[in-house]
Amino acid sequence: MTNPSPIAQEYLREGRSATCPIIDLHGHLGPFHGTYMPAAPLEQMRRELQKCGVKRIVCSHHTAMAYDMDLGNRLLLDVLAAYPHEFLGYWVVNPNHSELIARDLRDLHAKRGVVGLKLWPDYHLVPVTSPKYAAALEYANEHELLVLCHTWGESPYDAPGLLGEVAAHYPRARFLMGHSGHGEWDISVAAARDLPNVYLDLTSVPNPNDFSMMPGGSLMPRASLVSPTINGIIEYFVEQAGSTKVVFGSDLPWYSQHYHAGAVLFARISDEARHDILHRNAERLLGRHLDGSD
């Protein structure tokens, strides 16, 4: 396989690029009890970052997402305090806990290393358009926070069309479409193209399992049957929405950062677009948080 990109050649030769670092805007911390992930322990996470030349990752904590929001968000702060030059964080908002959310929102923007909110509507079973999210989204709008929202094609909770409605209502918040509304690619790129505060996220690159095939089952939605093909999705995003609207995300420790980096490095796009996706867009979105002055 040949690749004329100097960035890709440097990456293959050195294992990283000095001129094109990677900033990962979609990661998670801690174990997820539903499955075995060898990279989930914190020290292994840090090793993965080094292995793949990722200079910063923005994470939410699995415990906050799936088990105990309060405990998980506090565990996130511990990691941000211990490794401020490797990790930044999203504060998980589970809309089923309105009192905790109201308490947390008083000083969230002042918490060191917290750059925004993480919403998981498919799993918290509340549509992203619900008034239950309003207080958190008003806060994100007021403080121009990032909002990483899980999105999935045809979902009644977080389909890309629903996320577009919300983003239009809160124009100062910056919305990252986790998984880029997997399957409903056309609606996702339209939202990213038409709304200045909406971005596509590369955790759309791998195809997830259809867990309905497994004995245990899962809440994981099925991949859309009308769009099972993933190869070429980065080229499509860049062509339709522009490279300034696509950000790097790996879902670490779920997926290999090398897999996502490889998808970008070998995509048929310019090296300028690769710079945008791998670090420039994230640098613009994270701003002061990257130099630790927050």
Residue ranges that bind other proteins, judged by CB under 8 A: 1, 3, 11-12, 15, 35-39, 44, 48, 51-52, 205-211, 213-215, 220, 223, 228-232, 234, 250, 252-263, 265-267
Both tokens assigned to 290: 């990257």
Residue number with CB closer to other proteins (68 or 210): 210
| Cα 121 to Cα 258: distance, rounded to the nearest angstrom | 28
- Minimum CB separation of residue 61 from other proteins in Å reads 17
| Cα 204 to Cα 218: distance, rounded to the nearest angstrom | 19
- Minimum CB separation of residue 261 from other proteins in Å reads 6
- Minimum CB separation of residue 111 from other proteins in Å reads 27
- Minimum CB separation of residue 112 from other proteins in Å reads 26
Residue number with CB closer to other proteins (210 or 294): 210
Residue number with CB closer to other proteins (168 or 230): 230
- Minimum CB separation of residue 113 from other proteins in Å reads 22
Residue number with CB closer to other proteins (3 or 19): 3
Residue number with CB closer to other proteins (140 or 247): 247
| Cα 269 to Cα 186: distance, rounded to the nearest angstrom | 19
Residue number with CB closer to other proteins (38 or 131): 38
Residue number with CB closer to other proteins (232 or 292): 232
- Minimum CB separation of residue 255 from other proteins in Å reads 5
- Minimum CB separation of residue 140 from other proteins in Å reads 29
